Structure 1
Amino acid sequence: MKLKRLEAQTRVISAANRIIFAVMGLILGMAVVATALPQQRRLKDLEFKLAQTLEAEKRVLAEKDYRETEYLALKEDPAFLELKATDRLNLHRAGGKVYRFKRTHD
C-alpha cells in the first residue's frame, strides 16, 4: 500500500516538474521575443534613415555633376556663356528679340 502511495506521489511530482519546466520554457521564450522586438523596431528605423540618407546623397551627387558640367560649359563654351548672360543678366544682342513668359501660380 505504501509503495502504491509513493508511486502515485512520484507521478504527481514528475507531472508537476514537467508543467513547471514547460512554464519556465514558455516564460524564457517570451522574454527572448520581448527583448528582440525593440531591437527589430530600431533596425527598421535605422534602415529607413539609411535609405533617406542614400537618397539625399544621390541628389547631392547629381547636383554636383550638374554644377561641374555647367562650370566647364561656362569656362569653355562661349555660346553657353552668352546664353547664361542673356538669361541671368537680362542682356541681349542689338537687333535680337527677347521673349519673356510670366508664370502663373496655381
Structure 2
Amino acid sequence: MKRLEAQTRMISTANRIIFAVMGLILGLAVVATALPQQRRLKNLEYKLARTLEAEERVLAEKEYHEIEYRALKDDPEFLELKATDRLNLHQDGGKVYRFKRLPD
C-alpha cells in the first residue's frame, strides 16, 4: 500500500510539474507573439502621427489659398496690391520702396 501511495504522489508531483511547464510555455508563447505586434503598433502609430501632421499642413495651406482667393475675388484693394507686387508695376504718382537684403 505504501508503494502505491508513493507512486501516486510521484505521479501527482510529475503532473504538477508538467502543468507548470506547460503553463510557462503557453505564457512565453503569448508574450513572444505579442512583441512583434507591439513593434508593428508603434510603427503604425508613428506613421499615423506623420500623416496627421502632413494633413494639418495641407489643410492650413488650403485655408490660406481659400482666403487669398476670396480676397482676390471680393477685395479690389487686395487685388490691386497683389497685381502691383507680382507685375512689378506702380500707379502714377505712387511711391515704390524696395529693400535689399544684406548677405548673412
5+ residue gaps, structure 1: none
Q: CA deviation at 1:21?
A: 0.6
1:53-99 Cα offsets, whole Å, 9 max, x none, are 12211211111111111111111211101111122121112222222
Give the letter aligned to residue 15 of structure 1. Answer: T
Q: Where in structure 2 are there 5+ consecutive unaligned residues?
A: none
Aligned alpha-carbon RMSD (Å)? 1.6
Output the TM-score relative to the length of structure 2.
0.88
Distance verdict in 2 for CA 1:37–1:68, change over 3 Å: same
Paired position in structure 2 for 1:99: 97
C-alpha displacement at 1:104, in angstroms? Answer: 4.5
3-state SS, counterpart of residue 101 of structure 2: coil
Aligned residues: 104
CA distance in 1, matches of 2:83, 2:67: 17
CA distance in 1, matches of 2:56, 2:28: 42
Matches within 5 A, 1:1-106: 3-104=1-102, 106=104
Deviation at 1:47, TM superposition (A): 1.7
Cα separation, partners in 2 of 1:60 and 1:6, compared to 1, 3 Å: same
User: TM-score, length-normalised on structure 1?
Assistant: 0.86
Write the distance in 2 (CA, Å) between the matches of 1:105 and 1:42.
48
Q: 2:78 is aligned with what amino acid?
A: F
